Amino acid sequence: MTSARRFRVVSSDPVADYGFFTMDNVRVEAPDGSRAERFAIRHPGAAAVVAIDGDDVVLVEQYRAPIDRAILEIPAGKLDADDTDPAAAAARELEEETGYRARSLTPLIAIHTAVGFADEVIHIYLAKGLSAGEAMPDGIEEQWASIRRVPLSIAVAMVEDGRITDAKTVAGLLMAARMI
């Protein structure tokens, strides 16, 4: 791994701005002096929540255009420009998507989602002490989403048998199951 540390970015130029993420053309130099050009998605980061209520985890089933189907996920959303605390963003997303508020949020893990082309980091929290409220969906997918409560042990089995494949959800559920 020491050779990887000697790579250096020679230049990085913006290519496109798509609102909440941008694309850069990045030129890197390898330890032997050879150069390569890569494209990188620059993302502000996100926060996600494994919300536990009794034996259940609260999941959201919503449509995702890039894969053209609905998928089960933990509640999550991007960090806004004024988000300095990912835990606050996680609490906001939990309430917005599910209506639940948590008495406590404990950090579980932070993951890089797709290091081959993006710098996105998702901060995942464990939420406990839930109280129900009213969801405030933001966007067309959330308006049509459904909330599903699943026993945590069943959700972990769904990861193991491939029914849950979303990376943040896989990481969050496995870490939560380990902690509880």
User: What is the C-alpha separation between 119 and 113, in angstroms, rounded?
Assistant: 8
**Residues with active-site annotation:** 141
pLDDT value of residue 1: 47
pLDDT digit string (tens) for 33-71? 999 999 999 999 999 999 999 999 999 999 999 999 999
* pLDDT confidence tier of residue 82, bands split at 50, 70 and 90: confident
Q: What is the DSSP string of 44-67?
A: --EEEEEEEETTEEEEEEEEEGGG
pLDDT recorded at residue 2: 54
For the chain, what are the domain ranges? 2-42, 46-179
Say which CATH topology domain 46-179 has: Nucleoside Triphosphate Pyrophosphohydrolase (3.90.79)
